[in-house]
Chain A
C-alpha cells in the first residue's frame, strides 16, 4: 500500500505507549495494532480525529504517501 502509517513514530515523539493511546481514544488495542502495522484497509474520519486530538498532531503526521518501492516493510 502506498500509504505509510507513522503512528509508532508519533507515539515515540509523544512518549506514549499504544496501550495508553488505546485507553485515551477508546479504540481497541487490536485495532490500533492493525493500523500501526499497516494492515488497515481504511481509516474512519472519527478515528483519525480521535488520534489527532489525543496525540496533538495533524493527520499528515500519522499518514504519509510513499511510492511503493520506498516503503519500509519493517512495520
Chain B
C-alpha cells in the first residue's frame, strides 16, 4: 500500500469507528427518548412535541378562499411539491413507529459499520483479500438492497398516520412513496464488488499456497 493509500485507509477507519460508536450510543438513547416522549404525551398541560413528517403537497386552488374585492392575485406557481412538515401530535402509535424507524436505521448502521470496521482492520493489516471480507461486503450489499425497500414503506406508514391528522384548507397532503432506484442499484453494485473480492481472495489463496 502506498503512503497516500495508507493515510486514506486510516482516515476511513477513523470515520467508520466514529460512525459505529455514534450508532451504538444512538441505539441505546433512542428507546429512552421514546419513553420520555410517551411520558410527555400523558401530560395534557404540556404542548405536544413536533413530529417531522415527509409529505407531498398539492395546492387545491379551487378550495382557497377568494381574495377580497379589489385585490388582484398572481396565479400560484406552486402546483405540487414535497417537503418535511412538523406536525404537533399526541398520537402514540405515530411516535412509536417514528422511533422504531430510527431504531431500525441505527441498528442497520451499526451492522454496516461493524462490517466495515472488520474490513478496514484487515485493509490496515494489508490483508484485504480474505474470503471473510467478501462475505462482509456481500452482507452490506444485501442490507442496502433491503434498506432501499423497507425505508419507503416505513416512511409511508408514518406519513399515512400523520397526514390524516392535518387538515389545511387549500392544501392536499399525501404521504410520499420515497423509493430510490439509486439505492437499489448501489446495493447491487456492492454485491458485484463482493464477487470481485471473492475472486481476489481466491487469487490471494493461490498465491499464498504456491510453494
Contact = CB atoms under 8 A, between A and B. Distances in A.
A35 B209 CA distance: 9
A47 B206 CA distance: 16
Nearest to A30: B211
Contacts of A35: 211
B192 interface: no
A11 to B, nearest CB: 15
Interface stretch (A12-20, A36-44, A52-60): A36-44
Contacts, number: 23
B131 to A, nearest CB: 14
Contacts of B209: 34, 39-42
A43 B211 CA distance: 5
Contacts of A47: 211
A25 to B, nearest CB: 11
B205 interface: yes
B116 to A, nearest CB: 30
Contacts of B205: 41
Interface of A: 27, 31-32, 34-35, 39-44, 47
Interface of B: 205-206, 209-211
Given A40-B211, A44-B211, 17 more contacts: A27-B211, A32-B211, A34-B209, A34-B211, A35-B211, A39-B209, A40-B209, A40-B210, A41-B205, A41-B209, A41-B210, A42-B206, A42-B209, A42-B210, A43-B210, A44-B210, A47-B211
